[in-house]
Structure 1
Amino acid sequence: MLYFLQQVLNGAHMGALYALLASGYVLVNGVLHRTNLAHGAIFAFSGQTMILIAVFGWQVLWMTLPMTIGFAIVSTFAYATLIGWVLARGVFEPLVKAAPNAIVVATLGTLIFLSELARIAADTHDFWLPPLLATPVTFAEAGGYRATLTVIQLLNCAIIVALLVLSGILLGRTRFGRNWRAVCDDPAAAEMCGVDTRRVFRATVLHGALTAALAGMMAALYFGNIGFGSGLIFGLKILFVTAVGGYRSPTHAAMGAATFGIAESLWAGYFPIEWRDAWMLALLAAMLVLRFSGQEAVRPFRHNF
């Protein structure tokens, strides 16, 4: 039973990271209405950039560990802001009214560019951060076995939950939230009603980039390293999770992504881990097919009324 609890706790941490990614993805998809493969790329690029800057601050600038981590976090947020600004103005705005595949191709190119940029900057070497806040916190203990989470896992979960709750409140009770929903539903009608659709669009894309960057840095601080190809894997997982759950609510997408993280951890705990990603993506694909098959079956019935 404690082993099962340990897998759930591990999944809760990964689910929190997925939830933050899914929330930002749905925000951007709401105004973009296109598949955005750059979201996972920003996640991985931000984690790798933070590690590289931290290594530079430690080895070259001779900073203390807390100072170099803080310097790396601030610098990475600056890079993420630049990426969000370039994507909003230079990629998404010119292509949002073009063919749907144009955005897919452009964001795929962005993914490849950011992955290769990080690889070249690191000279194809893996740099690792030392364990940070790795003190275990015990949730249950029996027979010499303890179910634990580390301090950094608890800190990540607390920050993400607070951000998701704050984001839900802002979207539900502020002017920006109302404008975002209006732009998602009908940008032309929103503009006729006085909404600055361009400003909402750019702010949303920037917000999505910053949430992806924050998730990437949290993952890097916990794991100590992020692979060059992880942007595509994380991006596909979030794409499938949000496609199954729908793009209407960032909060619902976050809850679905958290559930997926727990399910993924349970698979890794009881089945061969090398098949985890393949089976979990296959499960999401099957759920997606069943969902749209059900919609097609119900649609003629609705037309009769």
Structure 2
Amino acid sequence: MLYFFQQVLNGLHSGALYALLAFGYALTNGILHRTNLAYGALFAFCGQTLILAAVFGYQVLWLTLPASILFGTVMAFAYAALASHLLARWLFEPLADRSPNTIAAATLGVALILTELARIAADTHDLWLQPILGTPIVFAETHGFKATLTVIQLVNCAVVALVLIAGSLVLARSRFGRLWRAVSDDPHAAAMCGTDVHKVFRTSVVAGGLCAASAGVLASLYYGNLGFGAGMIYGLKVLFVTAVGGYLSPQRAAAGGMAFGLAESLWTGYFVAEWRDAWMFLFLVAILVLAGAGRDERQRV
């Protein structure tokens, strides 16, 4: 039983990262209504930027470790804001009314560019951060087995919870939240009512990009490394998770991400880890097929 509790604790941390990614993805997709394959690459790119900037600050600028991490974090968020603004202004807006496959192909190209930029900047080497806040906190113990989380895992979960709560309150109670829902439901009607659709759209894309940067920073601080090729697999997972949780509701998408992280952790704890991603993708596809069949049945009735 305690082993199961340990897997649940592990799933809370990984689920928190998926929840943050899914929340940010839904912010953009709720208005764009198109598949964005560059989102996972932006997550990995920002995590890699943190590592590269922190190493540069520590080895070249002779900063202390906390100052180096702060410098890397600022650089990661700056690149995320810049990349998100450019994507919104020069890619998403011009292609928003085109075929859905057009944006899928364009964002795939952006994902490849971000991946290659990260690889070239790292000179195809994996750089590692010094472990931080690795002290284990014991939640339960029996017969010598301890169920623990490290301090950095607890900090990550707390940060994600604060971001999701703040984001949910903004969407539920602020003027931007009302405008976001209006543009998500019908952008043309919102524009006729005086809403600056372009501003809402760009703000949503930048906010989603900052969520990706936050997840990339937190993942890099925990794992110590985030490979430049990790973006594609994370992007696909978030795409499927958000499809299950709901494209038009960032909160439901975040809940789906948390559930996926818990399920992934339990699979790793009890089954062959090498087959984890394949079975998890199969599980998500099965849910999507069943959900689609249920919607078709209700429409026929």
What letter matches 2:6 in structure 1? Q
Q: CA deviation at 1:248?
A: 2.3
- Root-mean-square deviation (CA, aligned residues, Å) is 0.7
Q: Deviations over 1:172-228 (max 9, x none)?
A: 111100000000000010011111101000000000000001101100000001122
Match of 1:166? 166
Q: For the residues of structure 2 that align with 1:246 and 1:61, how far apart are their CA atoms?
A: 45
Q: Do residues 41 (structure 1) and 37 (structure 2) align?
A: no
Match of 2:99? 99
Q: What stretches of structure 1 move > 2 A for 4+ residues in a row?
A: none
Q: Deviations over 1:31-52 (max 9, x none)?
A: 1000011111110000011101
**Is this contact kept in 1: 2:47–2:213, CA < 8 A?**
yes
**Is this contact kept in 1: 2:244–2:253, CA < 8 A?**
no
What letter matches 1:59 in structure 2? Q
Q: For the residues of structure 2 that align with 1:246 and 1:171, how far apart are their CA atoms?
A: 15
Scaled by the length of structure 2, the TM-score of the pair is 0.99
Q: Deviations over 1:141-161 (max 9, x none)?
A: 111111000111000101111
SS at match of 2:226: coil
Q: Which runs of 5+ in 1 are unaligned?
A: none
**Is this contact kept in 1: 2:245–2:254, CA < 8 A?**
no
Match of 2:217? 217
Map residues 1-305 of structure 1 onto 2, 5 A cutoff.
1-301=1-301
Q: For the residues of structure 1 that align with 2:245 and 2:149, how far apart are their CA atoms?
A: 28
Identity %: 62
Q: CA deviation at 1:246?
A: 1.7
Q: For the residues of structure 2 that align with 1:245 and 1:173, how far apart are their CA atoms?
A: 22
Q: CA deviation at 1:244?
A: 1.4
SS at match of 1:147: strand
Q: For the residues of structure 2 that align with 1:278 and 1:228, how far apart are their CA atoms?
A: 21
Q: CA deviation at 1:67?
A: 0.7
SS at match of 2:247: coil
What letter matches 2:96 in structure 1? V
Q: For the residues of structure 2 that align with 1:228 and 1:238, how far apart are their CA atoms?
A: 17
Q: Deviations over 1:226-254 (max 9, x none)?
A: 12221010110111011112212111111
What letter matches 2:28 in structure 1? V
Q: CA deviation at 1:82?
A: 0.6
Q: Which runs of 5+ in 2 are unaligned?
A: none
Q: For the residues of structure 2 that align with 1:122 and 1:228, how far apart are their CA atoms?
A: 9
How many equivalent pairs are there? 301
